[in-house]
Amino acid sequence: MPIDEDVVGALAPGGTGDELLSRVARGPVLERDDQIQLAYVPFTAVRDWKAAAGGLRSRRVADADHALVLEVQSIRSRRVAALAIVPQPGIRLTAIVGVGRRSDYGDAYEYLSGRLHPRVMRPYFRQHDFATMMREIDRHLGRTAEIHFTRLGHQRRLTKEKRESSLTWTDVRYQDVLNEAREKGHFFKHVSFEVRLKGNATDVKGAMARPNIMSLSASAAVRLAGLVNERLVRHAAEEHKLVTDRSRTEALTRPRPIVATFEDALISKKGDAQQVTERFFQYKRSSIAVIHGNPYVHVRIIDLDDGSSYAVFMTSADAMTLIPQLRSSESSFSRLLEFVHDSFGAVKFEDAPKVYA
């Protein structure tokens, strides 16, 4: 059965929210013929979410054990999808967990996270996270299983050429695809994978997409939901931790920069710095001031979504210092990191003192 045709009961109009709430309370939903879609979005405050959701075409269904369940109407199919918001104990993080049919859920999630931006931070998978996740799944499934990538949505690093994205169908071991992507400077937007057992196809299938989303076929969910679930939460938490509390609380407070490092030198000849600088003009919903563009990079950025602002310096050929200013929201810094990752192929984001000590 094609994955997209699996309809989860929770999505049927009426009663959806209650059903999802009871499922969330029980833990990951594992039912035969279910297709599970999980996405975690860390929050700074649940109150924000509630306030924002109030203005949405959504209905608050239930509020038990701090879990809040919302129903959102799918824009395309008009079907109602349900999303649960579950606070994570111990960390300042609340996750939105959604369970649903892939297309409806995607719609609902995209719609909500779009409407909630910039109050809600959206974590994303970096290129190496795709590799990590696949390796973990691989290890979990044991030696007889082999994971193949069947469909790839990728885009090329943007320093030299214009943005290029493409969709490829393939059937190659994931390790080979990852190596090739690395050589070519490609970045995945989403991948679909299938598991082979002793060379034979199975119905253990799934997909992984940039905005911290995994989807699994019913039989994949049985074996992998626990692992995937845990990994998604951990990733969201790590991403949130990296960008949180970066605002300079008062002007005298020194900023807390993040340093992006690259595998190769980005600036090696005349004009390279100029190119890096010019790339920033393609950063969406922003206002840019180029203080210095040659031979090193000094750019200042306002994120027009919420007035967060940053200074970007590139005074080493293989590292970029991103300095948050008086206001730097989690969602805005995360968006900037994503842009730097996609545009220049940053491999690592770290606290400045760690890099420059």
Partner 1 sequence: MPSVRELIDNYQDTVWALLGLHNELTFDDEKKKPLAESAYTSRHTEEVTLPDGAKITPDIHVVVPGGLSVGDIKISFAQDGDDRKKADIEAQLRKYDAALVHLATASKRSKDECGVVLLVHQSRAGSATRFGQSTSFEHNFAVLSYNRTDQAKVYVTLELRHGVLVPAHKHTKLSANPIQINVDVLFRFGDVRFYDAAPPDLYVAEIFWMHILSFLAAEAMNPGDGALPKTVEVEVNKAAQLLADGYSIRQICRNAKQCPSNDQMRRVFVMLKRMHLAKEVSPDRYSVTRVDFRDVRAAFEKRLKKADADDARREARRKATETRRAARRKAREEEKAAKRAKKGNGRQGELFDPS
- Please report, as ranges, the residues that interact with partner 1 according to CB under 8 A: 48, 51-52, 55, 248, 250-252, 254-255, 257, 265, 281, 287-292, 295-296, 298, 300-302, 304, 306-309, 311, 313, 315-319, 321, 323, 325-327, 352-353, 355-357
Residue 36, classed as helix, strand or coil, is strand
Residue closer to partner 1 by CB (options 22, 287) is 287
**Least spacing, CB of residue 176 vs partner 1, in Å:** 33
Identify which of 190, 222, 199, 192 has the alpha carbon closest to the alpha carbon of residue 146: 199
**Least spacing, CB of residue 348 vs partner 1, in Å:** 15
Residue closer to partner 1 by CB (options 183, 250) is 250
Distance, in Å, from the CA atom of 84 to the CA atom of 70, rounded to the nearest integer, reads 6
Residue closer to partner 1 by CB (options 151, 300) is 300
Residue closer to partner 1 by CB (options 97, 120) is 120
Pairing of strands 80-88, 93-98: antiparallel
Residue closer to partner 1 by CB (options 94, 247) is 247
Residue closer to partner 1 by CB (options 62, 288) is 288
**Least spacing, CB of residue 98 vs partner 1, in Å:** 24
Confirm if 301 and 309 have CB atoms less than 8 A apart. yes
Residue closer to partner 1 by CB (options 18, 318) is 318
Hey, what amino acid is at 221?
A
Residue closer to partner 1 by CB (options 140, 356) is 356
**Least spacing, CB of residue 111 vs partner 1, in Å:** 15
Hey, what amino acid is at 115?
R
| Long-range pairs for 142-148: beta carbons < 8 A, 24 or more residues apart | 144/197, 144/198, 145/195, 145/196, 145/197, 145/204, 146/173, 146/195, 146/196, 146/197, 146/199, 147/173, 147/174, 147/193, 147/194, 147/195, 147/196, 148/172, 148/173, 148/174, 148/193, 148/194, 148/195, 148/196
Hey, what amino acid is at 314?
M
Q: CA–CA distance from 4 to each of 7, 30, 48, 100 (Å)?
A: 8, 17, 32, 10
**Least spacing, CB of residue 6 vs partner 1, in Å:** 36
**Least spacing, CB of residue 352 vs partner 1, in Å:** 6
Confirm if 88 and 95 have CB atoms less than 8 A apart. yes
**Least spacing, CB of residue 211 vs partner 1, in Å:** 21
**Least spacing, CB of residue 117 vs partner 1, in Å:** 10
DSSP 89: T
**Least spacing, CB of residue 146 vs partner 1, in Å:** 42
DSSP 254: P
Confirm if 336 and 286 have CB atoms less than 8 A apart. no
Residue closer to partner 1 by CB (options 221, 301) is 301
Strand order through the sheet with 145-156: 36-39, 213-216, 200-209, 186-197, 145-156, 165-173
